Amino acid sequence: MTRVTVYSTQNCPYCRMAKAFLEKHGVPYESIDVGADRAQAEKMIALSGQRGVPVIVVDDEVIVGFDSQRLNELFGETREGGAYDVLIVGAGPAGLTAGMYCARKMLSTLIISENIGGQALESWAVENYMGYRMVSGEELMKKFEEQVRMHDIRLEIDRAAGFSEADGVFRVSTTTGQEFFAKTIIFAQGKRPRKLDVLGEDRFIGRGISICSTCDGPLFKGKKVAVVGGGNSALQTAIEMSSIAASVSLIVRSSIKADAVYVEKLKGIGNITVHEHTKVTALHGEQFLTGVTIRDEKGSEQQLPLDGVFVEIGWLPNTDILDGFVALNEQKEIIVDINCHTNRPGVFAAGDITNEKSKQIIIAAGDGAKAALEAFEYLMKEGKGE
C-alpha cells in the first residue's frame, strides 16, 4: 500500500488543497504540522532540502509544493475531456464568481485551475471585503469554493497549456494531456509573484526565499527575516511576521505606498526595521539563505544576516501562453472593454489578468460576474445556448 505523508502548516492554503486532492481520490495520508512541531520541521527540511510547505512524501518520492501535475499522474483518474458552454481558466475570486453565475444561467461549465483561490490565498487578512470586518484570504476563498461546489460545475485541478479555435469552437489542452472544447472562454487566471531578479534567487526558493508567507511563516519562528516591498501585501506580511520572527527588516525600493491603516500599525512595532530607498543586490548562503546585501540610493551597501526573505514586490499576469490568441497590453495584461470582452469574439476575461486598473478581490469578483453574464448573452445571440 502506498504510504503518503503531508508536511504542512496550519494556515497554508496550498497544503489544504493537497490534502483535499488526496481525500477526493481516496488516498490515505498522514498529516504533520511542521509549524507546531519543530522536530518534524527539521525532518522535513532534511528530507526535502526545503524550508517551505507543503512537502508530500509518497513512499520514497518527495514532492515539493502542491504539484498538481505530478499528483494527477500518481493518483488522478482518467476522464474524458468533454464539451462545455463555458470554459473558465482560473479559480480565484473572478473565476469562481464567473462559474457560479454561469451555473445559475444553466450553462454547462468547466473551471480549470492549478489551485483554488488564486493569489487571494496569500493574504493574511482582508479588511475591505464587504460583509466581513476581517477575514483571511484562505477563509474567504473557502467560502467562494463552498458556494461554487453547490452547483453543477466541473472543477479540474490542472494547467491550461494551449488554446485554438476552429469553426467557432474553442479547443483547450492541459499539461496532463486532457483536451476540452467550449463555445466560450473566460480567462481569469490572475497573476504570479514577481521575482527579485537577483543572482542565485532560484536556488534559494524554498531554502530561505518564500513567496507565500501564510504558508511558510511558521517555519521562521524566532528567526531573522526580511520582507521586500512597500505596498499593502508587504506591510501586512511584515506586521504578521513581527509576532512570529525575532526581527523583521522591511526593504523598500522607493518609499512605502501602503494604505494608511497599515502604515499606522507598522509604527508601533519595535522589532521591525524599515530600509527605504533600498534594494537587495546579493544573496548569501550555501544550502540555505544566510543573509542579503542591500544598497541604498547613495550607493552605500550593508549586509543583513537573515534566515528568510519574503518577496512582496508585485505580480506578473499569467498570460505567457495567450500571446497571439488575444490582444495584450505592454504589461502583458489582457485588453478588455468595460464589459470584459477581449478582441476575440466569444472570449472574455476578468480579474487581475486584465488591464482593469484597480486590482482588488471585490473588483475581480464583480468582473467575474460581469464576464459570465456577457458570455451568456453571447451564447444566446449566437444561438449556441440552445
Domains belonging to the chain, first-starting first, are 4-75 (3.40.30.10), 83-193+315-382 (3.50.50.60), 201-311 (3.50.50.60)
Q: How far is CA 151 from the centre of its chain?
A: 24
d(CA 129, CA 166): 41
DSSP secondary structure, 158-172, as one string: S-EEEEEEETTEEEE
20, HSE (Cβ side, Cα atoms, 13 Å): 16
DSSP state of 36: T
Q: How far is Cα of residue 199 from the mean position of the Cα atoms in its chain?
A: 24
Residue with cell 502548516: 9
In angstroms, the CA 145 to CA 121 distance is: 12
| Mean local confidence (pLDDT), 301-306 | 97
Above 80 in pLDDT, residue 1?
no
| Element containing residue 292 per DSSP (H, E) | strand 289-296
Pairing of strands 191-193, 315-317: antiparallel
* pLDDT, average across residues 250-255: 97
- The helix, strand and coil proportions of the chain, stated in percent and rounded to the nearest 5, come to 30, 30, 40
Kindly report the pTM of this predicted structure.
0.86
Q: Which has more pLDDT, 103 or 177?
A: 103
Residue 301: partners with Cβ closer than 8 Å, 6 or more residues away? 281, 293, 294, 295
- pLDDT-derived band at 177, boundaries 50, 70, 90: confident
Tell me the pLDDT of the chain averaged across its residues.
Answer: 93
- Evaluate if residue 244 carries a pLDDT over 60: yes
Question: What pLDDT, on a 0 to 100 scale, did the predictor assign at position 385?
Answer: 57
| 190 has pLDDT over 70 | yes
Query: Residue 68: what pLDDT?
Result: 85
What confidence tier does 53 reach under pLDDT thresholds 50, 70, 90?
A: very high
Report in angstroms the alpha-carbon separations of 306 from 140, 197, 291: 32, 18, 4
Specify the DSSP class assigned to residue 178.
-
Express each pLDDT in 343-378 by its tens digit: 999 999 999 999 999 999 999 999 999 999 999 999
Indicate if the pLDDT at residue 383 is higher than 80. Answer: no
Residue 106, C-beta contacts closer than 8 angstroms, at least 6 positions apart: none
**317 strand-pairing partners:** 191
Q: How many helices (H) and strands (E) does the chain have?
A: 10, 21
Query: Of the ranges 9-13, 54-58, 282-286, which one carries the lowest mean pLDDT score?
Result: 9-13
Of the candidate ranges 12-26, 80-94, 220-234, the one whose mean pLDDT is the lowest: 12-26
Q: Would you say 214 and 121 are in contact if contact means Cβ atoms under 8 Å apart?
A: yes
* Maximum mean pLDDT: which of 75-89, 94-108, 127-141: 94-108
- Active-site residue list: 212, 215-216
Q: For residues 383 and 211, which has the higher predicted lDDT (pLDDT)?
A: 211
Please report the pLDDT score of residue 20 as a whole number: 85
pLDDT at 184 over 60: yes
Q: Are 275 and 251 in contact (CB under 8 A)?
A: yes
Q: What is residue 345's predicted lDDT score, i.e. its pLDDT?
A: 97
What's the rounded mean pLDDT across residues 12-23?
88
Q: Are 148 and 155 in contact (CB under 8 A)?
A: yes
Q: Pairing state of beta strands 347-349 and 179-187?
A: parallel
* Residue found by looking up cell 475591505 in the block: 128
Confidence of residue 323 (pLDDT cuts 50, 70, 90): confident
Mean pLDDT of 255-275: 95
Query: Is the pLDDT confidence value at 338 over 80?
Result: yes
pLDDT at 29: 96
86 neighbors 102 (Cβ within 8 angstroms) = yes
Cβ-contact 228, 254 below 8 angstroms = no
